[in-house]
Structure 1
Amino acid sequence: MTYLSPFRRLLAVSASAPMLALTLALACAVPLASCGQGREEHPPLEGAEIGGPFTLFDKAGKPHTWDSFKGQWRIVYFGYTFCPDACPMDVQAMMKGFALFTRDHAADAAKVQPIFITIDPARDTREIVGQWTGAFGPRLLGLTGSAAQVKQAADAFAVYYKKGENTPGGYLMDHSRIAYLMDPDGKPIAMLPVDKGPEAVASELAKWVN
Structure 2
Amino acid sequence: MSAKRVDAKVVMLGKESVGKTSLVERYVHQRFLVGPYQNTIGAAFVAKSVQVSDQVVTLGIWDTAGSERYEAMSRIYYRGARAAIVCYDLTDSSSFLRAKFWVKELQNCEEQCVIYLCGTKNDLVECDRSARQVDYHDVQDFADEIKAQHFETSSKTGHNVEELFRKIADDYCSSAFEVMSEDKGVNMEQKGNFPYSCCRN
**Above 0.5 in TM-score?**
no
Q: More helix per residue: 1 or 2? A: 1
Provide the TM-score with structure 1 as the length reference: 0.32
